[in-house]
Amino acid sequence: MPKITFYSQGLHPPHKISGEVPSGMSILDASEKLGILMRHDCGGFATCSTCRVFVHEGMRNLSAIDLDEENMLEEAKLPPPYRLSCQTKILGEATCPAEVVVVIDDDMDWSKGAFGFLSEIPESVRRIARIMVEKKARKSGLTAILPDFAFPTLEEVKKKLEEVSGSPALLAAFTKELYESQ
Ligand code: FES
């Protein structure tokens, strides 16, 4: 499987997380799988650029830039080797594992800011929470998902998670509730 390493800029010591991810996974999904919460305000539609990463190594192991990504990068004045993590897939075969190293701008890394709590909750629940928040935002016609604007807000998700996190049964019920609310 391809290997990806994330660095956050400007931290001492640097915040570094590596792991293997399935070939074809987007960099954004890979970050989430490894417990890093990157901003992605438009929900992965190539219309915001908040999911940008600076590709330090391994550009050849990434999918090609399509027109939507190219337009957004141009509009946001992000020259190569910047990529939009929501649009960029990590490629590589089992016989020829690829390696990619990316750097996240510090203010685009939610893991260390107000949303750090999300990296402590189980990945499965976090993914559902993310999908749910994004889906509801899209249904409401929002083009950007802002932490305190989406419904339910991440703050509401946090509160609920704090209530249920001590009990596997409550956590399971909450997970079901999230699924059903979609
Ligand atoms: S999440 Fe908005 S461009 Fe990637």
Residue closest to 50 by CA, chosen among 75, 30, 21? 75
Q: Which helix (H) or strand (E) holds 136?
A: helix 123-139
> Which residues form ligand 1's pocket by a CB distance below 6 Å?
40-42, 44-51, 72, 84, 86
Residue closest to 21 by CA, chosen among 125, 97, 120? 97
What domains appear along the chain, each with residue ranges and CATH number? Answer: 3-111 (3.10.20.30), 116-180 (no CATH)
Q: Which of 40, 66, 82, 138 to mutate to test the pocket of ligand 1 (most atoms within 8 A of CB)?
A: 40
- 48-87 tens-digit pLDDT: 888 889 898 899 999 999 999 999 999 989 999 999 999 9
Sign of CA dihedral 10, 12, 15, 18: positive
- 80-94 tens-digit pLDDT: 999 999 999 999 765
What pTM value is reported for the model? 0.67
